[in-house]
Amino acid sequence: MRKLKLAIAALSVVAAVIGGQTAVAAPAAEVVEGSKAENRLLVYSNMGTDNWDPIVAGFNKLYPWIKIETLNLGASEPISRYEAETGTGNASADFIVTGSISDWIRFADKKLAADYKSSEDASLPDWSKPFRGIYTFSTDPMVLGYSKLLLSDDQQPDSFEGFAKVISEHPHLFKGKVGSYGVDGFGGSINWAFVRQHGDKAWQWLDAIGPSVKAGDGSGPMIEKLARGEYTAVYFLSGPVVMPKMETGLDQVISWKYMSDGTPVFMRGMAITGKARNMNSAKLLLDYILSPEGQIAVSKAGFMPYRDGLPSDQLRFGSLEQLGKQIGEKNIILINYDRNMLTGFDDFTKRWAKAMGQ
């Protein structure tokens, strides 16, 4: 009788069918039942509360008894903080979401993720599950941003090659007024993947634009400078940051474009921690985020989902599948977990600094 009740409990949280797909695969009954005895679910991420709100709301429709507490940290902090806290025997995060490539590689090497295979695993592309227990939360495109106040439409190309060309042809419009990330953090992975894709051609483009670039700002400051006309253009701008802002009227002074010759896409990673104190709740959250319904919630949060077959009318800024159709799959540059970056990055940063005139 108890097994029957557990089976019924599991079936009760299976979501409705979306476009012919089951929204959330039925989790193990023991996991659902076990989550009811847990206190809360603590999440460390580099995402704000407003990003989490649609995900938490959708999740709590299925599991209303699970209280989720999220802590917004810098990209490298979720993992380093978890390591520091557990290293001294203190309680820490049950679940981590962040975009720091080198930290995830270290996390995997130290086997810090819970050894859990999601119920959605078979429906996901192989590249999206780079290490055991570590999955991809979203695929965030890096775009070109332009000031409409300073540039005409024909001075706003949709390719990096065109971007380098227009800067070379109109240096007075761009000198000292091109923003981007530096390579000491988040931007390092983007530049690495872009150069890996285009080789010497990428260096030629970077050499051409380097004298005009002021690198080192974050997405927020770069967008503000674009809006004020302090920057004429920004390259490798975070799509999940700029796209939601366009809904607030900023599209009157700023435009953005995917790069038709290679749009870098950042793989934001996630995992249940090996020392999670609310393991069952964390399993349910992971499965939910990876489900079609969860990926739609990820889209509502402002990020780009990557599961195929999602209903386009429910996606806020499209999906990776739609991006591939727009620019061609070969022009999607996955910023993946390339170990060569760990050993060859010093030489890379020297070459990048030379291109930037540093």
Q: Which domains does the chain have, with CATH numbers?
A: 2-139+266-323 (3.40.190.10), 141-262+330-355 (3.40.190.10)
> What confidence score (pLDDT) does residue 25 get?
65
Q: Are 179 and 217 in contact (CB under 8 A)?
A: yes
pLDDT for 94 beyond 60: yes
Q: Are 264 and 236 in contact (CB under 8 A)?
A: yes
Please report which confidence band the pLDDT of residue 28 belongs to, taking 50, 70 and 90 as the band edges: confident
pLDDT digits (tens, 9 = 90+) for 214-239: 999 999 999 999 999 999 999 999 99
pLDDT for 17 beyond 90: no
Would the pTM of this model clear 0.85, i.e. be above it?
A: yes
DSSP string of 97-138, one letter each residue: EE--HHHHHHHHHTT-B-----TTGGGS-GGG--BTTEEEEE
> What confidence score (pLDDT) does residue 19 get?
40
Please report which confidence band the pLDDT of residue 309 belongs to, taking 50, 70 and 90 as the band edges: very high
% of the chain exceeding 70 in pLDDT: 93
Closest CA to 266 of 313, 219, 325, 202: 219
pLDDT for 331 beyond 90: yes
Q: Are 45 and 97 in contact (CB under 8 A)?
A: yes
pLDDT digits (tens, 9 = 90+) for 55-67: 999 999 999 999 9
How would you classify residue 111: left for phi > 0, otherwise alpha for psi between -120 and 50, otherwise beta? left
Q: How far apart are CA 124 and CA 128, in angstroms?
A: 7
- How many other C-beta atoms can be found within 10 angstroms of the C-beta atom of residue 282? 27
Q: How far apart are CA 225 and CA 223, in angstroms?
A: 5
Please report which confidence band the pLDDT of residue 301 belongs to, taking 50, 70 and 90 as the band edges: very high
Please report which confidence band the pLDDT of residue 358 belongs to, taking 50, 70 and 90 as the band edges: confident
Average pLDDT over residues 90-102: 95
> What confidence score (pLDDT) does residue 27 get?
75
Please report which confidence band the pLDDT of residue 1 belongs to, taking 50, 70 and 90 as the band edges: very low
pLDDT digits (tens, 9 = 90+) for 239-282: 999 999 999 999 999 999 999 999 999 999 999 999 999 999 99
pLDDT, the chain, mean: 93
